[in-house]
Amino acid sequence: MAVVLALLAGLGYAGASVLQQRVAAAQPPELSLSPRLLLAVARRPLWLLGVGLDLVAYLLEAAALHAGSLVTVGPLLVSGLIWVLPLSTIGTGQRVTRREVVPAVVVTAGLAVFVQVGSPTGGGSTAGAGAWIAVGTVVAVLVAGLVASARRETGARRALLLGLATGVVYSFTAVLTKAAVDLLDDGVGALLSHWQLYVLVGVSIVGLVLNQSAFQAGHVAASLPVIAVANPVLSCTFGVLLFGETLGAQGGLEWTVTVVSIVAMIVGTILLAQSPLVSHEAEHVPALEV
């Protein structure tokens, strides 16, 4: 049951991303990186359908985690990267080839291996103010640099850079979510009286703007893989730095496998961003007015 639910959740996340990207891509370029982009896409029923599909996928993921373990569910959710390719070509006249399938499989396999072998365990959900400020500063500097670089690019390169910025932000929201949810052990009042919840809301809005801007800039295959890669890799890193977690990899062999999986994800993401489906998107994809 956990396997079936996780695969359905991966399909749901993929469909939601495709729907949101179709709508975002039709918005005027001047809305990029602006909260006004959210206001524009939120008026489109198709984008709202994508949000609803996101929610359904999240509920399926929660049910899968209830029925099975994280190491079972996590890698299966990555299957969404494979679903994205055929779904993104519906109604566009485009065709998926080996130039897209092979890198997508490499990214998916690398991410699945990383989740199973390298994901951290143990630790708590509290950290000192200095550690939070340090990690927050690193995130802000990385995102600012990526956004500045993306402003000088167009098409797939811009989508990839904004997708990477989105992944960085989402990795930070992951550790903030961990800290905020654990505060609920002491009641809702404890959650409302701590800063983590409010920072989480603000950072999540920034992440949503970046995500939709990445979708607006280019094909979903240019941005979604890098988001999917950056999020778990960096959230694991932040978990180690903030909460004292330890990576699941033990011994030379597992560490080697973990490093190879990260390299595979990076290489696969770059190849996807350079594939014909992504680089020739402007020649085939019609504007969407739904």
Can you give the pLDDT at residue 286?
43
Q: What is the mean pLDDT of residues 94-118?
A: 83
Answer yes or no: is 223 within a domain.
yes
Top-confidence residue, 166 or 87: 166
- The chain-wide mean pLDDT, for the chain, equals 84
Can you give the pLDDT at residue 282?
46
Answer yes or no: is 199 within a domain.
yes
Q: Which two tokens stand for residue 96?
A: 């998926």
Q: How many other C-beta atoms are found inside a 10 Å radius of the C-beta of residue 42?
A: 12
Answer yes or no: is 290 within a domain.
no
- To 10 degrees, the CA torsion angle through 231, 106, 86, 94? 110
Q: Which two tokens stand for residue 24?
A: 């975002």
DSSP structural state of residue 92: T
DSSP structural state of residue 120: E
Q: What is the mean pLDDT of residues 129-139?
A: 92
Q: How far apart are CA 27 and CA 103, in angstroms?
A: 29
Answer yes or no: is 261 within a domain.
yes
- Pair 259, 138: CB distance under 8 Å: no
Tell me the residue type at 67: A
Answer yes or no: is 246 within a domain.
yes
> Domain total for the chain?
1
pLDDT greater than 90 at residue 148: yes
Answer yes or no: is 289 within a domain.
no
pLDDT greater than 90 at residue 100: no
Can you give the pLDDT at residue 285?
46
pLDDT greater than 80 at residue 199: yes
Range of the domain at 236: 2-284
